[in-house]
Structure 1
Amino acid sequence: MCSKMKITKSTKNYSACPQIKELLNECDSVLIGAGAGLSVSEGFSYSGKRFEKYFSDFKNKYGFSDMYSGGFYPYKTLEEYWAYWSRYIFVNRFNESEKGNGVYKKLFELVNKKDYFVITTNVDHQFQKAGFDKSRLFYTQGDFGLFQCSVPCHKKTYDNEKQILQMVEQQKDLKIPSELIPKCPVCGKPMTMNLRVDNSFIEDSFWEKAAARYSTFIEKHQNKKILFLELGVGFNTPGIIKYPFWQMTLQNPVSHYVSINKGESYCPTEIQNRSFCIDEDIGKVLERL
């Protein structure tokens, strides 16, 4: 249905903040949908100066110019592969020394006294670091902090912080020691990240429970004053957050939809009278709120 809707681009700016603030105060609940743009606003870009800071040696050897491209590079050995990925995961998941812009904390301050829930395609753990209740989070695409069997031979994930830190500390000449290559404890095949990149992604028991809580939240607030707050969501995977938010807004006449995303803020004309689409930096908008 969403593909048949006529889409309109943002026409609103910071001047809409008082109206959005009023919606936040009056709504019964807030459903947050978050994409990569939220972490970019936090300061955690995968390119530019931040990439140069952490991956200039990989850039010089392999020629790629951003973290995302490095994740798809055809490394010849698992020692090289895990040298890159262990640093990638450490930088974007476990590095406590790097402080962001406080965008996630501003968001938490806005909604923590409301009945809220978060669905996100981000895998960097920033919501929990900012104080969000884990039971109110649904990480649909996985978590940098988890391993799974690459086959996969069984439906279970494993915390990887200790192994990742060892790989980062012991890598030399852009390779890790062979004995640190993570292997499945059941079948012995190589482990991989619990990230949704193909049909081998494991939806373990924790994922399934989070999905159930998300469904329960939606069912609980049907036909009530719910605010669909979409932050930093583009069109890479619109079927996870964007299209469902549009459809639920259309079906619920007392709901409202807010999209904040620099460069990509849209809504269907069918819900335009109950929508605020702001083409500005998320952090700056949250500051004004």
Structure 2
Amino acid sequence: MFSRIWTKKSTNDCSGPIDTLRQVLNHTDAVVIGAGSGLSTSAGFTYDGERFKQYFADFAAKYCIRDMYSGGFYPYSSLEEHWAYWSRYIYINRYQDAPKPVYQGLFSLVKDKDYFVLTTNVDHCFQKAGFDKKRLFYTQGDYGLFQCSEPCCRETFDNESTIRQMVEAQGYQIMPDGSLSVPESTTLKTKIPSELVPYCPHCGRPMSMNLRADDTFAEDEGWHRAAERYREFLRRHEGQNILFLELGVGYNTPVIIKYPFWRMTAKNLNAFYACINQGQAVCPPEIQRQSVCIHGDIGAVIAQL
């Protein structure tokens, strides 16, 4: 349907596109937010650099791991070490708040609108910022959930209590504000006690994270209810003034947010597509007249809106 030649519509001066987006936001009937990892990056959830060194210096020295993402795929020799790494990873990216209030700023823009969120992010930032749980569809899972690694069932399990125990067993103290502290003279452990390793209560196999990486991803009842609510939202607003607001979506999984947003905009002359992205703010020529693309930091643009 779309030409292979994309038109990048961002310029160094974003004032015009931002003004246009502000007007669309003020007059639209509904907003569909499509959020990718770039949104959480803007909020301060970076997976490398100083933040990685702060929490994983011991793993980095031991295994030459350079960022959190690659460390999640390292073939650790034991489940005790695997979950030591992952419990830190989950805690700081799911149970700690993002360093910057980008999600809160976004919520202030749409809270009085009829909105829905479709996201590939798994860090729970939308719900913590005040977004209605029934208006969220986390397509790729949730850092806060375990599932059977087989999986023998499509059930998921809340992991907050277990993750906190794992983190504390490594030597961390969880402070009242949720931050992690290492007591003086404490050497962090890179393994957890064997009794904390999670196993499926049904079949006894090891648990895994509820993250879509292959065909073992468990789409539980909550996932299917959210998918149906999203479909119903789109049916209810078909043909109406609707803003498809894409934030920080790359090209790892464009078929989930980016391409559907383009198609739905093209089919509805009353629809408008807005893309805010650092370096990848583009749209196809077919919807150029119904679009704005803003190259810049999402948090900074939201603040201007």
Common fold: TM-score over 0.5: yes
Query: SS at the partner of 1:43?
Result: coil
Counterpart pick for 2:224 among 205, 208, 216: 208
Q: Residue 271 of structure 1 aligns with which residue? A: 287
Separation (CA, whole Å) in 1 of partners of 2:298 and 2:9? 14
Separation (CA, whole Å) in 1 of partners of 2:10 and 2:105? 24
The alpha-carbon deviation at position 53 of structure 1 amounts to 1.1
TM superposition outliers: structure 1 runs of 4+ over 3 Å: none
Do structure 1's residue 257 and structure 2's residue 273 form an aligned pair?
A: yes
> Where in structure 2 are the equivalents of 1:182-197 lying within 5 Å?
182-197=198-213
Paired residue type of 1:165: R
Query: SS at the partner of 1:19?
Result: helix
Separation (CA, whole Å) in 2 of partners of 1:137 and 1:5? 31
Q: Residue 85 of structure 2 aligns with which residue? A: 84
Q: In angstroms, what is the RMSD of aligned CA positions? A: 1.1
Query: SS at the partner of 1:194?
Result: strand
Counterpart pick for 1:173 among 184, 189, 200: 189
Separation (CA, whole Å) in 1 of partners of 2:51 and 2:91? 14
Query: SS at the partner of 1:260?
Result: strand
Counterpart pick for 1:237 among 241, 253, 266: 253
Separation (CA, whole Å) in 2 of partners of 1:44 and 1:137? 20
Do structure 1's residue 110 and structure 2's residue 126 form an aligned pair?
A: no
Q: Residue 176 of structure 2 aligns with which residue? A: none
Unaligned runs of 5+ in 1: none
The alpha-carbon deviation at position 25 of structure 1 amounts to 0.6
Paired residue type of 2:190: L
The alpha-carbon deviation at position 275 of structure 1 amounts to 0.6
Deviations 1:183-235 (A, max 9, x none): 00000000001000000001000000000000000111111000000000000
Query: SS at the partner of 1:186?
Result: coil
Separation (CA, whole Å) in 2 of partners of 1:269 and 1:48? 37
Decide whether the 8 Å contact of 2:166 with 2:196 is kept in 1. yes
Decide whether the 8 Å contact of 1:30 with 1:114 is kept in 2. yes
Unaligned runs of 5+ in 2: 171-187
Separation (CA, whole Å) in 2 of partners of 1:150 and 1:32? 31
Between 163-172 and 145-154, report the one with greater CA deviation: 163-172
Deviations 1:85-139 (A, max 9, x none): 011000100125xx52111001000000000000000000000110000000000
Decide whether the 8 Å contact of 2:10 with 2:281 is kept in 1. no
Query: SS at the partner of 1:117?
Result: strand
Paired residue type of 1:125: H
Decide whether the 8 Å contact of 1:79 with 1:178 is kept in 2. yes
Q: Residue 27 of structure 1 aligns with which residue? A: 28
> Where in structure 2 are the equivalents of 1:273-288 lying within 5 Å?
273-288=289-304
Between 168-177 and 109-118, report the one with greater CA deviation: 168-177
* Percent identity of equivalent pairs: 59
Do structure 1's residue 224 and structure 2's residue 223 form an aligned pair?
A: no
Decide whether the 8 Å contact of 1:232 with 1:261 is kept in 2. yes
The alpha-carbon deviation at position 263 of structure 1 amounts to 1.0
Counterpart pick for 1:247 among 237, 244, 263: 263
The alpha-carbon deviation at position 56 of structure 1 amounts to 1.0
Q: Residue 145 of structure 1 aligns with which residue? A: 144
Separation (CA, whole Å) in 2 of partners of 1:50 and 1:275? 35
Between 5-14 and 83-92, report the one with greater CA deviation: 5-14
Aligned residues: 286
Separation (CA, whole Å) in 2 of partners of 1:197 and 1:168? 24
The alpha-carbon deviation at position 5 of structure 1 amounts to 4.4
Separation (CA, whole Å) in 2 of partners of 1:246 and 1:229? 11
Separation (CA, whole Å) in 1 of partners of 2:235 and 2:92? 37
Deviations 1:243-277 (A, max 9, x none): 00000000001110000010111100000111101
Query: SS at the partner of 2:208?
Result: strand
Q: Residue 14 of structure 1 aligns with which residue? A: 14
